[in-house]
A and B are shown apart, each in its own frame.
Chain A
Amino acid sequence: MHPYRRRLIIPALLAAILISAALWQFHHQGQSPLAIPTQAGAPVAVGDEINLLSRLIAAEAGTEPYEGQVAVGAVILNRVRSPLFPSSISGVIYEPWAFESVSNGLIWQVTDLASPSRAAADALNGWDPTYGALFFWNPSKPVSPWIWTRTIITQIGNHVFAR
């Protein structure tokens, strides 16, 4: 092999990686407008809040048992009634860093809303399997140590619920 060609392999590979990264970025950028948040910011009325709540439940607890989905919805509603949190569903959901699925955009990508919307309806109708929980987290993921100082109420599926 010609010595130049051998030396060329690495730069060529680098260039290929860069170009594909750029292409991927363009491709990705092109797709994102489909997933633009539509409910953010605007005040939502009683009937519309169920959509927002279902989306959050789907993103946070889509793979959880049904009861765990109702419980996540109930936590949002308990927060709305608590002086420690904003007093509206949209305020609670879009509080900075309150929910991982809002930070990483999963809330706008969920598609299966059948079970989450039933769970949201049950939560809005008053069912609360956590009896007043304000926090929930997955104990197998890293969380702020502060959270463990709260009073733990119960565990449903993969989530711990606390007050």
Chain B
Amino acid sequence: MTRKIATIALTLALLLAVGWGLWERANRLTLANAVEAGGQRDFYNLLNYVEQAQVSMGKSLASSSSRQQAVHLTEAWNQAAAAQLSLSQLPTPGLKPVNISKFLAQTSDYSNYLAQKLARGDELTAQEREQLARLREEMKRVSQDLHQTEGQVASKGLRWSSFYGTRMPNPLKTIANLAIPVQAEPPGPLDGFVNTDRRLQTLPSLNYDGPFSDHLEKPRPLGLKGGEVSQAEAEHRATAFAAAASNSSYRVQATRTTNGLLPTYAMSLLDTRRPNVTVHADISKQAGEIVTLLNTRPVGPPTLDAAKAQEKAIAFLKAHGFRDMQPTYTVRTDNNQVITFAAKEGEVILYPDQVKVKVALDNGEITGWDATPYYMAHHQRQLPQPKLTPAQARAKIKPGLKVEGVRLALIPLPGGVEKLTYEVRTKLDDTSYLTYINAVTGEEEKVLQIVDVPGGQLTM
């Protein structure tokens, strides 16, 4: 009798286990298919976009009218960018195809640069055509490589979903390897990618006026003048600056160094009067300037308004040698007002030379400082004489827009270029824009839209 019960119980348990296993397996397969579909979609998108970009680049080389050239280059710009996005979402474990990614982003960016040049009415130089032809050749080779990988994908030699899974624990793996001896490694499914990536690593550098140009990869700080300061000196300056910002006093808790685009001593400072208030300050190694400061205390309900905060920020800037700074835009986050200031030279606002000041709205303390853009960009410039008058700049604005103000501004453009412009603030229906008219040539260089966000405005 007991035996019978035991058999029934065991059979039930076994059936339950098998059923559960099958059910889990069905679940896993559904998910694996969804993942496989995602991987396949990204892969075939990549393949298509690379092929299309190659064709568009070819068409622009073959076309004789600059208007047609611009059209095809614009296509190539979008197609290469889409290819880069598809590539980045492909599951390729243990392999980060950085060089393919960079190649696609640069080709996209370069096509955009050429298209914009044509849109301005300029012609492509022989050198630029050569460069474009070279990039197209490379794009063709990438396309061929991808077709080879496609063969593997189509014959199911490469399953994207197979890359996802929990790794087998090591002891089990050893047992499995003993049971089934390891065969000689067949060529890996991702070898095609590895080879392409390796080849693209050796591409010569590409210099042009665009954000991904190679000459911008490692910008040097232009605003630091003088020799390297000692750590003790940096600590002294940091504590003095933090004390002035909070109207308190500070001691150094720890100092480390950073080795980025702007090398600094980075310090954690402890408030000696208030418990649990820490401030982080970064002092540039060269010249010992205060690059950033960040007070980490949470800020209570506001007692100041934005205008009062701006007064505090201006006074603080003045006290630290930044006399002629123009507040540009401002945003409120978590009871802090962050105000971005730009340097001024005479009447000209220098947008590249920015300092951000963060003011706590509960007690008016300076809780943040970021002069990184200022020290990266600020230098003695030879500004050109404007050839246009403000009225002439105003006349360049599209009819129908309401002009709300004109002022001179130096603006940064892609590729590290700076242009002297008239900044014209305009309004169309309920949207505000900033239109930048070149003060020397009268060309429209850039349009920004002002977007209202909670607690401030952003430009896009």
Q: Say yes or no: B89 contacts A96, CB within 8 Å.
A: yes
A76, chain B: closest CB distance, angstroms? 14
| Partner of B260 from A2, A18, A132 at Cβ < 8 Å | A132
Secondary structure call for the B interface: mixed
Q: Interface size for chain A: under 10, 10 to 19, 20 to 34, or 35 or more residues?
A: 35 or more
Which residue of A has the minimal Cβ distance to B1? A4
B438, chain A: closest CB distance, angstroms? 26
Q: Say yes or no: A130 contacts B102, CB within 8 Å.
A: no
Q: Say yes or no: A122 contacts B294, CB within 8 Å.
A: yes
Q: Say yes or no: B105 contacts A83, CB within 8 Å.
A: yes
Q: Say yes or no: B356 contacts A11, CB within 8 Å.
A: no
Does B9 make an interface contact (CB < 8 A)? Answer: yes
Which residue of B has the minimal Cβ distance to A127? B370
Q: Say yes or no: B16 contacts A85, CB within 8 Å.
A: no
CA of A90 to CA of B221, assembled, Å: 30
Contact with A along B47-89 (1 / 0, CB 8 A): 0000000000000000000000000000000000100110011
Contact with A along B83-121 (1 / 0, CB 8 A): 011001111111010100110011001000000000000
Does B154 make an interface contact (CB < 8 A)? Answer: no
A40, chain B: closest CB distance, angstroms? 12
Q: Which residues of B contact A106 (CB under 8 A)?
A: none
CA of A117 to CA of B298, assembled, Å: 12
Q: Say yes or no: A131 contacts B258, CB within 8 Å.
A: yes
Does B310 make an interface contact (CB < 8 A)? Answer: no
Q: Interface size for chain B: under 10, 10 to 19, 20 to 34, or 35 or more residues?
A: 35 or more
Q: Say yes or no: B109 contacts A163, CB within 8 Å.
A: no
Q: Say yes or no: B260 contacts A130, CB within 8 Å.
A: yes
| Partner of A87 from B6, B85, B259 at Cβ < 8 Å | B85
Given contacts A46-B460, A146-B96, contact A85 B2 (CB under 8 A): no
Q: Say yes or no: A151 contacts B294, CB within 8 Å.
A: no
Does B244 make an interface contact (CB < 8 A)? Answer: no
Q: Say yes or no: B256 contacts A154, CB within 8 Å.
A: yes
B168, chain A: closest CB distance, angstroms? 16
The 4 A-B pairs with the shortest beta carbon distances in the complex, nearest first, are: A131-B260, A83-B105, A15-B13, A154-B258
A-B contact list, 19 entries, CB within 8 Å: A2-B2, A5-B2, A8-B6, A14-B13, A66-B278, A67-B294, A70-B294, A81-B211, A85-B88, A86-B88, A97-B93, A118-B333, A127-B294, A131-B264, A131-B372, A132-B260, A153-B258, A154-B258, A155-B256
Chain B positions within 8 Å of A, measured between CB atoms, are 2-3, 6, 9-10, 12-13, 16-17, 20, 24, 81, 84-85, 88-94, 96, 98, 101-102, 105-106, 109, 211-212, 256-264, 266, 268, 278, 280, 282, 292, 294, 296, 298, 331, 333-334, 338, 356, 358, 368, 370, 372-373, 451, 453-454, 458, 460
